[in-house]
Amino acid sequence: MRVVVTGGAGFLGSRLVKALLERGSITTSGGDEAEIDEVLVADIAPPAQPFAADKRLKTRYGDFSEADAANQLIDADTAAVFHLAAIVSGEAEQDFDKGMRVNLDGTRQMLEACRHRANVPRVVFASSVAVYGGDMPDVLDDATPLTPQTSYGTQKAIGELLVNDYSRKGFIDGRALRLPTVVVRPGKPNAAASSFASSILREPLQGEEVVCPVSAKTGVWLLSPRRVVACLLHAADIAPKAWGESRSVALPGMTVTVEEMIAALARVAGEGVAARVHFEPDPFIEKIVYGWPTRFTTERGEIMGFRADERFDDVIEAFIEDDLGGSYVG
C-alpha cells in the first residue's frame, strides 16, 4: 500500500517519513494492518538533508496546490495521506492570496483526489491551535468555539470542517489534529510567527546570539517534534468510531513561558548559553502571538490516547540529541 506525505520534505514531514519506513505498516480505513510498499513524499523542494536510501521511498517535488496536482499523488493503492503541506502563519498573513491557494485550495484538491478513490483513504490533516483566537477563556477546552484571528488560522479551521464533511459523506476516513507550537525546529528561522520559540533555544545552543521579539512572560502551548510524530502516527491508528461526530481534536501539550524556556536552557546547557538570548519587541509578531491561546484542558485528546511531553528540559535534550549530534556550543 502507498502512504502519501504532503510537506514530507519539511522538518516534521521528514521525521514522519522516517518513522513510517521504520514502522513498515499502516492501518487502513477498513481497520486492517497493511504493509507499506511505498511512501511518497510530496513537497515544493527536496529536504535540507537527503533521505536515507530505501526502495520504498519515492519523491515528487513541485507546487502541488496547482489544479489536478493531487491526482498525480493519490492513486487507487493509497491507504493513507498525511497532509502537512502548508505555508506558515506569518507568510499566510502577509500574502493572503498565497495562503488561500496553498493552505485552503491545496487542501481541497487533496480531499477531492481522495474522494474519487474507491478505497476511501485514511487522511490525517495537520491543523493548528491558531484556529482559536479573539475573546477566549483563560483555559480552553474541547467545547471552545473556533474564532481564528489570522488568515492562517482561518484556513486551518476551514480545512478541519472540510475533513469532517468529507468523512461524514464517506469520501475519506479523516482526522484533524490541532497542533501546538512545535519546539525545537532545526535549521534557520522561518516566517512562522512562532519561530522565536525555537530560535531562542536553537541559536544559543549553536553559539549564536538571538533576539526574542516577544516579552519574557509570553506563554506558548507546545509539543516536541518527537511527540508530534507520535501523535500523527497514533491518529492514523484510531478507529473511526472513537472520533464520533467530530474528526478534530486539540492535542495535549504543555504551557511554557519564554522565561521558563530560557531557565530550562540554562539548566541543560549553562547560564552562558542562556545569556545569548536578548529581547527586542516586534509589533507584527506580538500582534499575532498574543492572540494565540496558551492554556488548554485536552480531555478528549487524552482519552483518545494522545500524550504530551513531560518536561521541557526533555524537549531541549531531545533537540540536542536528534539535531545537534549530541553536543552544543557552551
Nearest to 81 by CA among 62, 64, 101: 64
pLDDT reading at 324 higher than 80: yes
Are the beta carbons of 155 and 104 closer than 8 angstroms?
A: yes
Picking from 229, 238, 24, 226, the residue whose alpha carbon sits closest to that of residue 123 is: 238
| Residue 291 confidence (pLDDT) | 83
CB within 8 A of 27, min separation 6: which ones?
33, 34, 80, 122, 236, 237
Average pLDDT over residues 128-144: 93
Mean per-residue pLDDT, 19-38 = 94
Nearest alpha-carbon partner for 266 in 222, 316, 231, 305: 316
Confidence label for 307 from pLDDT (cuts 50, 70 and 90): very high
> Catalytic residue positions?
152
DSSP annotation of 196 reads: H
For residue 255, pLDDT over 80 is answered with yes
Residue 64 has a pLDDT of: 82
pLDDT at 181 over 80: yes
Residue 111 amino acid letter? L
How do residues 83-125 score in pLDDT, each as one tens digit? 999 998 889 999 999 999 999 999 999 999 999 998 999 999 9
Task: Map residue 178 onto helix, strand or coil.
Answer: strand
Spatial CA neighbour of 171 closest among 124, 111, 126: 111
93 vs 205: CA distance, rounded Å: 30
Length of the chain: 330
**183 cis-preceded (ω within 30 degrees of 0):** no
Nearest Cα residue to 121 out of 268, 240, 242: 240
β-pair type (181-182, 254-257)? unpaired
Cα 134 → chain centroid: 22
CB 306 within 8 A of CB 242: no
The separation between CA 230 and the C-alpha centre of its own chain, rounded to angstroms, equals 11
Residue 147: all three cell numbers together = 474564532
- What pLDDT is attached to residue 187? 85
Instruction: Name which of 26-30, 167-171, 224-228, 238-242 the model is least confident about.
Output: 26-30
Average pLDDT over residues 171-195: 90
Grid cell 491526482 is found at 71
Q: Check residue 296 and report its DSSP letter.
A: B
CA dihedral of 285, 192, 330, 278, whole degrees rounded to 10: -10
| Confidence check: pLDDT of 193 > 80 | no
Distance between CA 112 and CA 68 in Å, rounded? Answer: 9
> Is the pLDDT reported for residue 203 higher than 90?
yes
The predicted model scores a pTM of 0.94
Helix or strand holding residue 174 (H, E): strand 173-179
Query: For the chain, where are the alpha helices, taking DSSP H only?
Result: 11-23, 89-94, 96-99, 106-115, 151-168, 196-205, 225-237, 258-269, 271-274, 283-289, 299-303, 312-323
**Domains of the chain, each with CATH number or no CATH:** 2-179+224-250 (3.40.50.720), 193-220+254-323 (3.90.25)
The pLDDT confidence band at residue 293, using thresholds 50, 70 and 90, is: confident
Binned at pLDDT 50, 70 and 90, residue 194 comes out as confident
d(CA 292, CA 218): 10
End-to-end alpha carbon distance in the chain: 47
DSSP conformational letter for 237: H
